[in-house]
Amino acid sequence: MGFPLWAGRFAPALVVAAVAWGSVSPVFADVFESLDSNEDGVLSGKESAGLKFLDNDEDGEISRGEFDQGVAAHIQRLEQGDSESFAKLDQNEDGRLSGKELRPVAFTDVDGDGRVTLDEYRDGLRRRRAELAGRDAKALRATSEAEFAKLDITEDGRLSGTELAGAAHYDLDGDGRVTRDEFLSGMMLDALAGGAPGPGPSPDPGPAPRETGKNVTAESIVAATVDAINRQDGRKVVAMMHPELKKLVDEPLFAYLLFALKRQHGEVREPAAEMIERSAPGEDGSANVIAPILCDEGEIKLHLTLAQNQFLGFQFETPVNDALQTLLAKDLVESEEWQDRFAKGYSPRCQKLIRHGVAGEVDEAIAMFHPQVIESVGRDKYEAVLGILRDRVGGVKSIELETFGNEQDESNNLFMTISHRLTGEKLVLIVENRLQFVGMSAALVSIATKAPEDSGPVPPAPMPSPDAKSALKPVAADADGLRFKMPGTPERIVNEEEKLVSWQFETEDPRCFYIAEVRTFDANIEKEHETFFNSMKKTMTEDATFKIADEDDGGTGGHPGMIFTLEGQNGKYSFRRDVCVGNKVYSLQWVTAKRTRELEQEFGEPFIGSLEIIEGGERPVPPPPSTDDDPPPPPSGGKKPAKVRPPSTGDVPPPPRSGDDVPPPPRSGDDVPPPPKPPGSAE
């Protein structure tokens, strides 16, 4: 067709969008070959598990032709099947799903308004299928078993009646029931359909919806485009698009494209009819059109793809193409109007993702990310961050737009980061979502959480009266990013100048001192943790008050850490654990005036082992590679409200501060070893 939606990697251009049209066989060639493990050209035995119904001649083998034919037939059934399942769910026949009707398919509520139209329902199912496309056969079988069990209310091993809503197209033999095997087979076909570059083949797409316009012609599209550029209003052009093309075009991006074209070329005019070039329809019925648009300055060529009087794709050929992402990046920094438009335009999608996470709807949340990102980065990394929303927040009280930022990588791929302030019943978090511009839309690529900078301390859980003989009780310091256990209620001390937050508790009989602290540095200490710990060991022993008796690995959650056993003068003894996470160091230290094995087992070791780091924003899910092998830079924040910061100048952090800039831990006489020095400190 000439204008592919997907070419295996993120495309940098903003000006191409098209609906796939035609045969699917080439699309699934790689899938067939990956299933054909013995490379004999057919699927048999374990290779055909879940796909045996494609064996039309019942010879025990699935040929390439049978495979392609079966997948194509399934994709053709999807549109009709989706309409039928929507009708079954829409019990009051008001043309939308809401309330109880929506619960089985809540993931299709893309805009989060509690109501789902047929178009939104179809879009949600396509997103779901795209997410399934990123899973292997083993993961698909596990998902199939879990979802089948959820739908099989009567537990009779088959879906029928209302149980069948949302899975009607899995009824492969047409008997009105879906068995467990049919459900697995249908899900595998859905996964294959989700890997297609568009809605799938359709030799006869049927009449265009009213909003697309009847008898759409090249001349009418060109006229509407000229009017859209001059008036800076693209609604008429969008209304003429095929419904599938509309899904590929985000309003903020299309509006900016029209703005950039007018800024570059000035007023534009329609060409004469004889100036418009048309190709003969191809085998799939689509034709290409090239229309030169007359401009005050420069030249624009509008490329169109049409089939059966439907508007399927477009591309602007103009010198502005090469610089469009750079221009957008600049305007998103300098123009508050464009900042506001993009922030508000993409906020609903991010809020929908957050609500899925808090509700524990992991599959629905994962489906909102681009499937290639999930495959590249790994589903488990996304589930870990979504788990923070599910487990820590409680119910959602409010979600407010916090900041907006953008940055461009070395290949000119443009990313934006949108953060929201999530106020839950248990916790307040900042949730950052990163999106990459792909064609004329933006794809979600990462999510991260962190504690808000302006949040006050979360009060510790109620504690019994201080008593050294009582069991350690949990202390929740969620706003500061950690949890730990102490035998009593600690005192929280904040030193803003030294960027230190600490909790202290002391018992008299026996005399023990408990310290927990979070120190924030200017540099990324985690990247330089070896230098940090070497400097720390030197500092702790330089005054001969303590010596290191033992050291061990103290890392957690993939973050580097160390545990030191320190022996001091006059029988003093200490455990110390430090974990580096980004530019923060989380520390627990236990000191006793007299060492006994009983004290170690009852208090020292459990205290040191109780450290739980709960901040999710220190190691956010990384975005995937874009157009080269190097990952794009990490997400950036912005100014409040919805302000942007200029793109970062690099990923190399400044060196750690030295000397007195490093905050020492609190002391209790000589009971606590001296503080460590970070790498780069003056000797």
Q: How confident is the model at residue 468 (pLDDT cuts 50, 70, 90)?
A: very low
**Is residue 76 pLDDT above 90, yes or no?**
no
Q: How confident is the model at residue 271 (pLDDT cuts 50, 70, 90)?
A: very high
Q: 154-163, 245-254, 371-380: which range is least confident on average?
A: 154-163
Give the CATH number of the domain where residue 251 resides: 3.10.450.590
Highest mean pLDDT, choosing among 10-19, 224-233, 240-249, 299-308: 224-233
Do 137 and 174 lie in one domain? The reply is: yes
- The residue range of the domain holding 118 is 23-194
Do 164 and 247 lie in one domain? The reply is: no
Average pLDDT value for the chain: 74
Coil, helix or strand at residue 253: helix
Do 237 and 292 lie in one domain? The reply is: yes
- Indicate whether 516 belongs to any domain: yes
Domain count, the chain: 3
**Is residue 199 pLDDT above 60, yes or no?**
no
Count Cα neighbours of 60 within 13 Å in the Cβ-side half-sphere: 2
- Indicate whether 531 belongs to any domain: yes
Do 128 and 73 lie in one domain? The reply is: yes
List pLDDT tens digits, range 378-437.
888 899 889 889 988 888 889 999 999 988 877 778 899 999 999 998 889 999 999 998
Q: Looking at residue 194, what is its pLDDT?
A: 58
**Is residue 623 pLDDT above 60, yes or no?**
no
- Indicate whether 447 belongs to any domain: no
More confident residue, 409 or 548: 548
Domain boundary among 194, 226, 251: 194
Do 185 and 275 lie in one domain? The reply is: no
Do 178 and 228 lie in one domain? The reply is: no
Do 168 and 33 lie in one domain? The reply is: yes
Domain boundary among 194, 218, 234: 194
More confident residue, 348 or 45: 348
End-to-end CA distance of the chain: 68
Bridge partner residues of 302 (DSSP): 291, 316
Q: How confident is the model at residue 549 (pLDDT cuts 50, 70, 90)?
A: confident
DSSP state of 61: -
List pLDDT tens digits, range 484-526.
988 888 888 888 888 899 988 888 777 788 899 999 988 889 8
Q: What is the pTM of this model?
A: 0.45
Q: Looking at residue 655, what is its pLDDT?
A: 32
d(CA 586, CA 529): 13
Q: What is the mean pLDDT of residues 450-478?
A: 57
- Indicate whether 112 belongs to any domain: yes
Do 158 and 229 lie in one domain? The reply is: no
Q: Which of 477, 494, 502, 614 is nearest to 559 (CA)?
A: 614
- Indicate whether 89 belongs to any domain: yes
Q: What is the mean pLDDT of residues 641-652?
A: 32
Q: Which residues of 542-581 are buried (b: 16+ CB within 10 A; e: fewer)?
A: eeebbeeeeeeebebeebbbbbbbbebeeebbbbbbbbbb
Q: Looking at residue 635, what is its pLDDT?
A: 36
- Indicate whether 506 belongs to any domain: yes
- Indicate whether 505 belongs to any domain: yes
Do 240 and 183 lie in one domain? The reply is: no
List pLDDT tens digits, range 529-545.
888 888 888 887 776 66
d(CA 140, CA 133): 9
Domain boundary among 312, 327, 342: 327
Give the CATH number of the domain where residue 514 resides: 3.40.1000.10
- Indicate whether 1 belongs to any domain: no
Q: Which of 587, 626, 621 is nearest to 607 (CA)?
A: 587
Q: How confident is the model at residue 50 (pLDDT cuts 50, 70, 90)?
A: low
List pLDDT tens digits, range 290-343.
999 999 999 999 999 888 788 888 888 888 777 778 889 899 999 999 999 999
Q: Looking at residue 8, what is its pLDDT?
A: 28
Residues listed for the chain? 683
Residues 6 or more apart whose CB falls under 8 angstroms from that of 660 comprise: none
Query: Cβ(201)–Cβ(283) under 8 Å?
Result: no
Q: Looking at residue 108, what is its pLDDT?
A: 80
**Is residue 245 pLDDT above 50, yes or no?**
yes
Highest mean pLDDT, choosing among 347-351, 481-485, 495-499: 347-351
Do 245 and 322 lie in one domain? The reply is: yes
Query: Cβ(300)–Cβ(292) under 8 Å?
Result: yes
Do 188 and 271 lie in one domain? The reply is: no
Q: How large a percentage of the chain has pLDDT more than 90?
A: 20
Do 161 and 227 lie in one domain? The reply is: no
**Is residue 17 pLDDT above 60, yes or no?**
no
